[in-house]
Copies of this chain bind each other. A is one copy, B any other.
Amino acid sequence: MAQESLDRNRQEELRELLSSTAGARPRALLRFLDEVHPADLAEWLLGLGELEQQRVIHALDDEARGELFKYAEDHHAAAYSAELSGRELAATLEKMPTDEGVDLLAELEPSQRDAALREIDDERERDLRDLGRHDPDTAGGRMSPDFATVAQGVRVGDAIKAFKKTDEEVVEDPNGVFIIDDHGCPIGFLSGHDLLTHSIHEVVDDVLEAELVTVGVNDDQEDVAHLMRKYGLESVPVVDPGGVLVGVFSAEDMAEVLEDEVEEDVLKLVGTSPVEQTHLPVSTRVRQRMPLMALTVAAGLVTAWILEASMGSGEGGDASLLRYLPIIIGIAGNVGIQSSTILVRAIATGEVSRGRELSVVGGEVSTGAWIGLLCGAATALFSAWMEGTGGVPAWSFGWSVGCAISAAVLWSSFLGCLVPMLCRKLGLDPAIAAGPFLVAINDVSGAAIFMGVAHLLLASA
């Protein structure tokens, strides 16, 4: 927590430096930026306006910008690059590892990408283009093409020389040397520790220990990550279909893949990505989540129709209302679990800093309100038509059902925010809030609100 408030102070300081007399103190800004870890800067930039972001990007030199882009999400880095010239972009790309550069290029506008590639030196350009050809979901799309190798048959001393020459700017945390045969196929790996614990006169082939596990360039990246986990590997060489070593899949790549998997799993179950939602405009959030909601409403309406067909209509009032209950159980459940999952994750990753709480809850509840309105309107139209008799739509019934749905959805999104926040205030793990208990409360209270509001409106109609 001390760390958190320290970070907030420094973030404030950056904001002041940027706003004070509009960049009239570039030297103070430069001094400040020089001391910030690029990972922190990448995080703080998210909270700044576009003008301020551009001021930071232009204040950084090529190397610092390359560092920043390594830590920022690719699509953010691409947005920050919008005003950079081809020459500036090329210089920044030269300072980034090849695989990170490829990811950034993929996110740029085609015209900007071409401008950058024109300015870059030929060898580097070829590397970038070669690597960019792989499917991003494969080992080839994630690997780094930079690594140290020596030929089989050489001595440990030669391998040490090759290891020493590894450029730390290109290969992050170099940890050893691959031994390759005449065809370029990897036959072993010697770590820095291996190299130091053997005599420099020994032949590398003789000191290789375990059999080398390799993966194919077209292998699915999730399979590679699971393989690394299973065998406890720190990195794994990637070979082309001919068996030639073309890249390295690192522990960091593995961590990224596993994280994407979390996101995908949650996305799949919840119908929206839990990442960075609290920074998105409400309209984007509504747009992202509406497909699932539309599906739920459609399923609920089909259910209502089946129920009406099997029961016959005209029972009127409450029995008709009950046919729309599956819709509210479905949507309210979705909205509640989305809000709570997003909040729990945002709290866990530090996205919800203290002080931002109200705006975060406000954003989620507004999103819920919009979703409620849209789903309520759809249900109102459909139910008025279905419950109508002799071609005359039952408008007052539709209106009541629609309003009841909107009210219940709004309540669910509020509940989905309230429970994790309360847990946090009380010092409990907010994660328990996103569980089945919330769903159960949601179902019961949603159904009660739905019936209550609909009753009230029907009675007054």
Contact = CB atoms under 8 A, between A and B. Distances in A.
Interface stretch (A109-117, A314-322, A362-370): A314-322
Contacts of A455: 310
Given A269-B341, A330-B443, A440-B295, A255 B254 contact: yes
A306 B355 CA distance: 39
Interface in A394-411: none
Given A192-B195, A310-B455, A71 B232 contact: yes
Interface residues of A, number: 86
B172 A192 contact: no
Interface stretch (A24-32, A257-265, A376-384): A257-265
Contact of A325 (B164, B192, B262, B326): B326
Interface string A167-202: 010001111100000000000000111011100000
Interface stretch (A57-65, A120-128, A431-439): A431-439
Given A258-B262, A326-B325, A268 B193 contact: no
Contacts of A163: 193, 196
A230 interface: yes
Interface string A276-290: 000000000000000
Given A71-B232, A193-B163, A265 B266 contact: yes
A451 B337 contact: no
Interface in A422-453: 431, 434-437, 439-441, 443-444, 447-448, 451-452
Interface stretch (A15-23, A139-147, A297-305): A297-305
A226 interface: yes
Given A175-B192, A296-B436, A306-B444, 19 more contacts: A70-B232, A71-B232, A163-B193, A164-B196, A173-B191, A174-B191, A175-B191, A176-B192, A192-B193, A228-B255, A268-B431, A269-B337, A299-B443, A300-B443, A307-B447, A311-B318, A322-B325, A325-B326, A326-B326
